[in-house]
Structure 1
């Protein structure tokens, strides 16, 4: 089977969409598919259509209804091949709710299938476009489970307690939120540190972040960390944060943190609640005060950190298999082609 993937944010490789696409791309190849990724942004217009036409895929798989779905819709009309869209988060939680929503309707309605990572995303789509719920399929995100996940030798002896926030620098990730509550915590526990890691996706926002960081000496920006180096970073830190305003369900960084048996502290949004059960597989905060209180528990209670980390790793081991994820997509492709 030949599958053309329409991928926004395929570069830089460290964005959530890129991590998802690259994982699925690799697993589909292991299942015998011929796959080619067409990165929206690097390719456009006539050049994009010419390259897709030359590859001659049997179907197109777009990620993000606004950035990828509209492109797949146009190519489908021109080339006469079916397409599906995987909903990735900001398309449903932001774009569908603003002026971009009307531009997405045609792409959503004409797609052979829509894929959501979790039922909360499917429900949110149904609130806007009820007729599309029956064509929306749930396929959970996968994550590679590392065999080596214990902290490196010497980490336990260091005099630092590190909170890691892995996120691209854009407003939806809300990366400045933890600075004030962690400053309060740092005053009581001088070993507390915050590290930010991720690509600059919106330069104006990133500049604001860098300026704000100057006021918080315990925090630092690591820059872009290559995805194949993230494992070493997860192993080194103590807690992983997600402070997003929205997520499309099952954020890659949280799944990866759980795979490395790291305790997580996450914002109270649908996407995070789709993975994290408060007090069981992680901690969910509802306000800045709640964040500070739960962060303090994590700093002072090693048994809590250990229990959450073990539970999280068991969760992704049992529910987030990348081979099953790719197999579900392949079955969906076959179903689409059988009824096209």
Structure 2
């Protein structure tokens, strides 16, 4: 390869100068909207990762815009590849956190310890991210080193397969939770909205994973190729249609149906068995150690014994004060209020 930008290009096509700039603006707008809503609903603890993922994704497309003008600059090419690969797993972490908050809100239907959902999935997500980014960096920097190019493609494929497995597990958990809520009676509108949101966002993440997996396997099969390397590698529009498109819909969906509108920010606030009243409880209390809950998140040992390892505090509603500032299930509560007010007297007290 030559030494100047005019003599060499790391792209297998002529990259667009305009599209990365346009979509950097659109992704940035979505990020700013989400930051505003996180402040508005004070929901940072749950959906921080959407803002962080947006910052990474916006940076990636800005770098791609610059790189398109200097296609022979290896550092710019690596940087834009890494940032664009980095963002989707971070976006997914927001969905994992949302699953945990949803099960804290209706703990009687929780599939696993809600407080361990984020820890379990974020650690797995961190592994996915590390593998994928390492593969993207190796592939982008491989140059004429065919072995490095191939090993990078293998790492990317492995990371994408792992992320797909994680997303399928998340969907399975949400489906199980949703079915438990439905079997107990009419599903509250806010719970239904959040469940459908999680179905949609996971579908878009899986779509993106499929695209990137096809690209990775095409990369492995076309090691050393410089032209006519297959439809995905040789056509830029695939990147916009199956990487950028799904992730943009993901972020704008969460802006239109921001979880801060439908779930309380306090994780100890839970829905009573009447599916309308909300109470301020003690939060999920697991009698096992943290490591036991991480190793056995579904409490299989407790299920086998017929004795769950957590306290079923929702069966003692009279012990927990009613939240007086409305109900998210009825659409009468809001995170915009100054705080959660609970009745001074416990239900049943004179």
TM-score bin (small chain): under 0.3
Name the TM-score, length of structure 2 as normaliser: 0.26
Name the TM-score, length of structure 1 as normaliser: 0.27
Name the structure with the higher strand share. Answer: 1
Larger Rg: 2
